[in-house]
Structure 1
Amino acid sequence: MERVYLDHNATAPLRAQARAAMSAAMDVVGNPSSVHAEGRAAKAIVERARAQVAAAFGAEGADVIFTSGATEAAALACAGRGLEGAAVEHDAVGAWVTERLAVDAHGRVAVPEPGRSVLQWANSETGVIQDLPEGLAVTDATQAFGKLPVAFNWCGATMALISAHKLGGPKGIGALVIRRGTELAAQIRGGGQEMGRRAGTENVIGIAGFGAAAEAAASDLASGVWERVAELRNILEKSIEAGANKTIFVGKDSPRLPNTSCLATPGWKGETQVMQMDLAGFAISAGSACSSGKVKASRVLRAMGLDEATSASAIRVSLGLETTEEQVLRFAEAWLSTEKKHRARAA
């Protein structure tokens, strides 16, 4: 039986529009910094993609600085600023946080000093959405962009991190979006690329794919397709809830991403579930992809007040636009069958 991919928060499948844009960009030989016709052609691809990303993210009039991904964008935005952030931030942001803010049992946080804070708009593990305070220094919009009707111009943040491969673009390309006039110290120095804020020859092929994916994602969002995904997530949770009364759905009572379900079944390690479901033909994860492979309790769930055993038992199922109801029901059936065997062994 065909495999079912349910790990879209880690990486979404490459969109056809992104693939076509990247293929076309491969035939453009020039360096975007060169002044001849070939260089101008490459530069035009970069600038078109910059406009596409800005429009899709509601960031017209802001600066879009292309980076190698959201991790580099986080370093560019946060380094040396002494920021505070929620205890549930992604490791790429948490590495720059000097003080961690407590979250409540629903994964939500109050930010006392927005001007010196960074906050993830939507959590990658639980899908819990935060309310961004006006004047926030930095928001990590990596998971929210493309799945929620978000716009940089009204979010209240000075800077935002975004990434292409979360919305159907290629891996290895992201951006930092900043309000014009914001002071920013380059972390990668050299040439004057990206308005002097990020040196190095631009990844023209990746940038082209990012722009096309962002434009397509905005079109999908406007058409309401994520509402159908939310319905599938609810079907998944109701199916599992009916057969596994000890399973907790983390963040269920909070505003969440439409595609994300975080399940915790105390006594059944998340890593074990991932391997068992992989063998059954389903790709899921035991938390953020950047933390997978580390056999330990979820830091995010521990911050929300769950105990060590429960936090270590969590898995994340993240659906995509191509996910079908048949696939969701197949997963629920396979998971419940495996969970039943686990309970029998533990008895």
Structure 2
Amino acid sequence: MNERAGTGAPHGGLAAGGEDRLVYMDNSSTTRPAPEVVEAMRKVLEEDFGNPSSLHRLGTASSRIVRNARKSVASLIGADETEIVFTSGGTEANNWAIFGTLRSLGDRSTHIVTSTVEHPSIMATVEYLRDSGYDVTLVPVDGEGFVDPEKVLKSVRKDTALVSIMLVQNEIGTVEPCREIGRLLSSLGPRRPRFHVDAVQGFGRLDIDVKKWGIDLLSMSAHKIHGPKGVGALYVRRGLRMGPLIFGGGQEAGLRSGTENVPGIAGMGAACEMWGKDRVEVLGRLAVLRKKLIEGVREAWPEAVLHGPESANVAPYIVHFSFPGFRGESILHALEKRGVFVSTGSACSSHKAKPSPIILALGRSEEEALSAIRFSMSRYTTEEEVAITVEALKESLKELLPWRESRR
């Protein structure tokens, strides 16, 4: 099979011009593992396959790989390596941040504060806790998806155990004011609630400093930054009391027992090293591509409605539009026929035929929520791919137009 330079992936489907190619614009769902990542994992699988807990040299080599990866993760968020605990991914890290906090604080802290635009792994967890007797405050957002730090602060009570706010909204790309929220919470003194940040969609790409931002817990995932699936991490501030996630042999400083996923951890470390070298350059290029994509979509379909910020305080790799009168799923499959792959929202809930709760939380209509498409780019996205995407979108909407007109 041939490969495109832009995606590095096998061709699939027909794009504009009849050329056989694939344009992957669903990078907020997952990313293609970088060559450096694949090589790091291959080496572990074929050569350094020892158990990190073993005392012989194969075990020592594996232990060194895990430690080096831990350092690489920590370096991207301003943490110490001892504060990084590897997990199976962002969802596990989010669940552990919440349940671990509640278990460690006991019955005296039964209140949680979060926002109305969090990832399903947060929302489903707090809904379960609410059904179990905990009190949950959902702080609303404005029309661009921003949560007001002052409203977060006003929601805090004496029995508040945790404030959990995501860094980047995974559907619309809004970058939440986590630094300001952390500053306000820190002003409450030593008895303040813990501050957890779900940084899965921003980790590795956006500037993060857990110390300066007053963050106690921060969730990360590898497969959003060209690392492997099935591995992530939770930053746990030094001195913070957290109950173990899994009991057993005492791995990960006794917090998450079980033999470490060394190939996955090595891959995550390699991805972090890659982003540490050229993050600023890549983000600058993506900001230019995002602007071109927004302009192209509006030119192709003037009725399109952009969700999230236009340019400031937004992840430069996420673009989210609604196409009123159409159905997002129909647009998705029409684009797929043309070799362009997008999503209708969060990959963790995209199989559910319901309007996106995120778009509804912005104050938008159900029609807009059902007609939404998310385009998400990566470090490998090219200007040519953006142009192909726009042309394929134009063709797809024209193809679907008779269906829309028949519904009026």
TM-score, length-scaled by structure 2: 0.82
Q: Which residue is 1:234 aligned to?
A: 291
Distance, in Å, in 2 between the alignment partners of 1:299 and 1:189 is: 36
Given that residues 62 and 179 in structure 1 are in contact (C-alpha distance below 8 angstroms), is that contact kept between their aligned partners in structure 2? no
1:71-150 residue pairs with structure 2 within 5 A?
A: 71-79=91-99, 81=102, 82-97=111-126, 98-110=136-148, 111-112=152-153, 113=156, 116-132=162-178, 133-134=181-182, 135=185, 137-150=195-208
Q: Does 1:45 align with 2:65?
A: yes
Letter in 1 for 2:84: V
**Counterpart secondary structure, 2:212:** helix
Task: Identify the range of structure 1 (147-156 vs 210-219) with the bigger mean alpha-carbon deviation.
Answer: 147-156
Structure 2 residue 27 is matched with structure 1 residue 8: yes
User: What is the letter of the counterpart of residue 170 of structure 1?
Assistant: P
In structure 2, distance between residues paired with 1:153 and 1:16: 32
Partner residue in 2 for 1:60: 80
Of 9, 16, 25, 2:44 maps to 25
Matching of residues 214-233 of structure 1 within 5 Å: 214-222=272-280, 224-233=281-290
DSSP-derived class of the 2:245 partner: coil
Indicate the SS of the match to 2:138: strand
Please give the secondary structure, in 1, of the residue aligned with 2:355. Answer: coil
The alpha-carbon deviation at position 58 of structure 1 amounts to 2.0
Q: 1:115 Cα shift? A: 6.5
With 185-194 and 76-85 compared, the bigger mean Cα shift is at 76-85
Range with bigger deviation, 4-13 or 250-259:
250-259
User: Which structure: larger Rg?
Assistant: 2
Does structure 1 residue 317 correspond to structure 2 residue 363? Answer: no
Q: How does 1:187-266 map to 2 (within 5 A)?
A: 187-222=245-280, 224-253=281-310, 255-266=313-324
Cα separation, 2, equivalents of 1:343 and 1:29: 55
Relative to the length of structure 1, the TM-score reads: 0.96
Cα separation, 1, equivalents of 2:49 and 2:393: 49
* One-letter amino acid of the counterpart of residue 85, structure 1: T
Is contact 2:223–2:229 with CA below 8 Å preserved after alignment?
Answer: yes
1:277 aligns with 2:341: no
Using the alignment, how far apart are the partners of 2:276 and 2:123 within structure 1? 28
Q: May I ask how many residue pairs the two structures share in their alignment?
A: 346
| Partner secondary structure for residue 118 of structure 1 | strand
By how many angstroms is 1:33 displaced? 1.2
Amino acid at match of 2:138: R
The root-mean-square deviation of aligned C-alpha atoms, in Å, is 1.6
1:292 pairs, out of 331, 350, 365, with: 350
Show structure 1 runs of 4+ deviating over 4 A.
Answer: none
Amino acid in structure 2 at the alignment position of 1:19:
V
- Separation (CA, whole Å) in 1 of partners of 2:256 and 2:349: 27
Q: Which runs of 5+ in 1 are unaligned?
A: none
Given that residues 140 and 361 in structure 2 are in contact (C-alpha distance below 8 angstroms), is that contact kept between their aligned partners in structure 1?
Answer: yes
Q: What letter corresponds to residue 38 of structure 2 in structure 1?
A: R
* Contact persistence 1:7–1:283 (CA under 8 A): yes
CA distance in 2, matches of 1:57, 1:13: 23
- Alpha-carbon distance in structure 1 between the residues aligned to 2:315 and 2:282: 13
SS of the residue 1:157 aligns to: coil
Letter in structure 2 aligned against 1:335: L
Q: 2: distance between equivalents of 1:258 and 1:150?
A: 16
AA matched with 1:116: L
Partners of 2:332 and 2:341 within 8 A in 1? yes
> 1:43: how far off?
0.8
CA distance, structure 2, for counterparts of residue 192 and residue 159 of structure 1: 20
- The alpha-carbon deviation at position 346 of structure 1 amounts to 2.6
Contact (CA 8 Å) 2:340, 2:392: kept in 1 or not? Answer: no
Any idea what SS the aligned residue of 1:96 has?
helix
- What secondary structure does 1:152 align onto? coil
1:243 to 1:30, Cα distance in 2 relative to 1, 3 A: closer
1:62 CA displacement: 5.4
Is the Cα–Cα contact under 8 Å of residues 37 and 267 in structure 2 kept in the other structure? yes
Query: Is the contact between residue 325 and residue 367 of structure 2 (CA under 8 Å) also seen in structure 1?
Result: yes
- CA distances 1:97-148 after superposition (whole Å, capped 9, x unpaired): 2332111111011212396210000011000000011246100011111221
Pairwise CA distance, 1:341 = 3.0
The runs of 5 or more residues in structure 2 that have no matched partner are 1-19, 103-110, 127-135, 186-193
Letter in 2 for 1:122: V
Q: Partners of 1:269 and 1:62 in 2: how far apart? A: 47
Distance 2:363 2:49 in 1: 54
Distance in 1 (CA, whole Å) between partners of 2:43 and 2:330 is: 43
* C-alpha displacement of 1:57: 2.5
Q: CA–CA distance in 2 between the matches of 1:92 and 1:319?
A: 23
Q: In the alignment, is the contact (CA less than 8 A) between 1:149 and 1:221 conserved in 2?
A: no
Separation in 1 of the partners of 2:202 and 2:161? Answer: 21
Identity among equivalent positions (%) equals 36
Counterpart code for 1:244: W
